[in-house]
Amino acid sequence: MTAPKSLIVSLHDAHPGSRAQIADQIAFLASYGIDRASILVVPEFHHQGPVSADREFCDAVTAWQAQGHDIVLHGYFHDRRESPPEKLSTLFWTRLYTSREAEFLDLPLDTARQRLERGRALFDSLGWCASGFVAPAWLMAGGLPNLLAEMGFAYTTRLGEIIPLLPGLHRVISSQSLCYSTRAGWRRFASGVWNKHLYGRLRETDLIRLSLHPADLEFPLMRRQIDQIIRASLKRGFQPTTYAAYVAR
């Protein structure tokens, strides 16, 4: 039997400050009949305190999980305040590609383990099942996937691949994610041009990944293109799913 074509929408950077934006994105997806997404939750976004301190946010995430959304551990702080000193070799990733948010890019593995354990303990205390981990900006040290597998995570992802981690699931799945950068006008323009080109290739595959950040739908041109991508994908037979469900097939 031929595997169905899959559409995975991931909603990044969920934290108390972005709760309303994530809720709007979930409603936006529901208007197309997309009732499941992977929601990437940051335990202590930019050192602003644990999400457990915000009951309204926690209740929202619990409800999203109950509705069938995949709740994903997304870094811990999502910043580099306690990261190793920057080097010339990392400046592109820490200053241009991201705005000092590549938390797991060069994090020592013992420190990474502590943050992963802390994040998972927080999720467990709130009743959230974190089967997957995605590093901020998909940037992570080379040994991190092995550590995640050792700790029992089911999957992680990079910008260009999905990495199943459970025993017997070792095939890395190549798939470039569509994503946008909103920090400047030229970035938004470049994102639109690149994603139009990239989608032209992805629509001929059996997997489309669409990664949204909290502000993406607030820009009319980006919202229009996202609308076009979703409509075209559904029309071509892509079925909405989550990372957790996809790797468990």
> Mind listing the pLDDT tens digit for each residue in 201-218?
999 999 999 999 999 999
Q: How many CB atoms lie within 10 A of CB 87?
A: 9
The C-alpha atoms of residue 47 and residue 57 are separated, in whole angstroms, by 16
Q: Is the pLDDT of residue 182 over 90?
A: no
The C-alpha atoms of residue 23 and residue 196 are separated, in whole angstroms, by 26
Supply the pTM of this predicted model.
0.93
Separation in Å, CA 33 to CA 3, 4, 21 = 21, 17, 19
Q: Is the pLDDT of residue 226 over 70?
A: yes
At residue 82, the pLDDT reads: 66
From start to end of 106-235, where are the E strands? 132-133, 155-158, 161-164, 173-174, 207-212
> Mean pLDDT across the stretch 216-244?
97
At residue 142, the pLDDT reads: 85
SS3 13: strand
Q: Is the pLDDT of residue 14 over 70?
A: yes
The C-alpha atoms of residue 192 and residue 206 are separated, in whole angstroms, by 22
Taking the CA of residue 129 as centre, how many other CA atoms within 13 Å lie in the half-sphere pointing to its CB? 11
First to last CA, the chain: 13
The C-alpha atoms of residue 207 and residue 246 are separated, in whole angstroms, by 10
- Of the ranges 7-21, 117-131, 133-147, 163-177, which one carries the lowest mean pLDDT score? 163-177
> Mean pLDDT across the stretch 182-197?
89
Which has more pLDDT, 97 or 8?
8
Looking at every residue in the chain, the average pLDDT score rounds to: 91
151-171 confidence digits (pLDDT tens): 999 999 999 999 999 887 668
SS3 212: strand
At residue 136, the pLDDT reads: 93
Sign of the Cα torsion 75, 222, 27, 5 reads negative
Q: Is the pLDDT of residue 57 over 70?
A: yes
Separation in Å, CA 151 to CA 86, 113, 119, 132 = 28, 9, 12, 11
B/e letters for 204-216, b = 16+ CB within 10 Å, e = fewer, are eeebbbbbbbbeb
Closest CA to 72 of 30, 135, 29: 135
> Mean pLDDT across the stretch 26-42?
98
SS3 100: coil
Q: Is the pLDDT of residue 1 over 70?
A: no
Q: Is the pLDDT of residue 232 over 90?
A: yes
72-130 confidence digits (pLDDT tens): 999 999 887 866 666 655 545 455 555 567 789 889 999 999 999 999 999 999 999 99
> Mean pLDDT across the stretch 18-34?
98
Sign of the Cα torsion 75, 77, 79, 81 reads negative
> Mean pLDDT across the stretch 16-28?
98
List the domains of the chain with CATH numbers: 6-247 (3.20.20.370)
Separation in Å, CA 221 to CA 23, 215, 228 = 20, 12, 11
